[in-house]
Amino acid sequence: MNPTKNIIIAIDGYSSTGKSTLAKHIAREMGYVYVDTGAMYRAVTYYAMINGFIDENHFDKKGLITSLSEIDLSFEFNKKLGYAEIFLNGENVEPFIRSMNVSNRVSQVAAVPEVRQKLVEHQQKMALKKGIVMDGRDIGTVVFPEAELKIFMTASAEQRAKRRHKEMVDNGVDIDYQSVLENVMSRDHLDTTRTDSPLVKAADAIEIDNSEMNVDETYALAMSYVKEKFLEI
Ligand code: DC
């Protein structure tokens, strides 16, 4: 598709609903920039872990907030992979931010208003020229309430845990299904109940429940909404 206009496409939803796969695919098709905001929250969590602000038993929120000015996040496009990788203070942290340790702590870090404020400002700056597909939890509600197209992704917790488990096992991670399901459900709870920018469907978002859909079917449905939008504007 050759878009005549640059728009903002916001893709929000529950974890492991295939948001990033879908967002990457749409961005490639449209020649748009793709931004994975979950990677930004994960990178801040990784920073908090390696600097001793968070572990299994404690979270030094104040310490992390004081150090936020020391955190520089940037994205660099990797031609081979076909998407941008995230850098934390100049270091490519992609290999570290998808671990279970980070996954188990990221919702706590993402609930800190000061963290959110810093990352939301960064995200808004990245879209000044539009032509962007951004995925996360609050893109259509907080980051870009004026986004031209908002998609909200959902699927059953069991189906999402099954997919995440397979992805991890395929990547050589030794983990049982039950632990993944527990992580998915605990993140759902934390993400939807936090006070600042909880995960909620924007009133004008189109919902896609892909419990019974594969990646190609999800993409085809989403692209039909993109095309409809381009006919409207
Ligand atoms: O999309 P993900 O699973 O990589 O996101 C990791 C966590 O970051 C998720 O549990 C919630 C949080 N997050 C958020 O609060 N706001 C966003 N815009 C993106 C992610």
> Are 148 and 3 within 8 A, CB to CB?
no
Q: In the prediction, which pLDDT does 60 show?
A: 98
Decide if pLDDT at 216 tops 70. yes
Ligand 1 pocket: which of 11, 37, 168 to mutate (most atoms within 8 A of CB): 37
Joined tokens for residue 92? 């490519």
110 lines ligand 1 (CB under 6 A): yes
Instruction: Decide: helix, strand or coil at residue 59.
Output: strand
Sheet architecture: strand order including 149-154: 33-36, 132-136, 8-13, 149-154, 206-209
Its pTM stands at 0.94
What is the amino acid identity at position 24?
K
pLDDT > 80? residue 1 = no
Domains of the chain, each with CATH number or no CATH: 18-220 (3.40.50.300)
Burial category of 51 from C-beta neighbours within 10 Å (exposed 0-12, middle 13-18, buried 19 and up): middle
Binning pLDDT at 50, 70 and 90, where does residue 171 land? confident
User: Residue 183: which H helix or E strand, with range?
Assistant: helix 177-193
- Does pLDDT of 2 surpass 80? no
Tell me the per-residue pLDDT of 127-151, one tens digit each, with 9 for 90 and over: 999 999 999 999 999 999 999 999 9
Separation of CA 116 and ligand 1 centre (Å): 11
- Long-range pairs for 57-66: beta carbons < 8 A, 24 or more residues apart: 59/105, 59/108, 61/112, 64/109, 64/112, 64/115, 65/112, 65/114, 65/115
Give the tens place of pLDDT for each residue, 53-97: 999 999 999 999 999 999 999 999 999 988 899 999 999 999 999
Residue that has been written with the tokens 């600097």 in this structure: 51
Query: Of 132, 128, 126, which is closest to residue 31 (Cα–Cα)?
Result: 132
Q: How much of the chain exceeds pLDDT 70, in percent? A: 99
Question: Phi first, then psi: what are they for 153, rounded to 5°?
Answer: -100, 135
Q: How far is the CA of 134 from the centre of ligand 1 (A)?
A: 12
Ligand 1 binding pocket mutation candidate from 41, 107, 183 (most atoms within 8 A of CB): 41
Q: What integer pLDDT is reported at residue 5 of this predicted model?
A: 86
Q: Residues 164, 166, 170, 173: what is their CA dihedral angle, to the nearest 10 degrees? A: 60
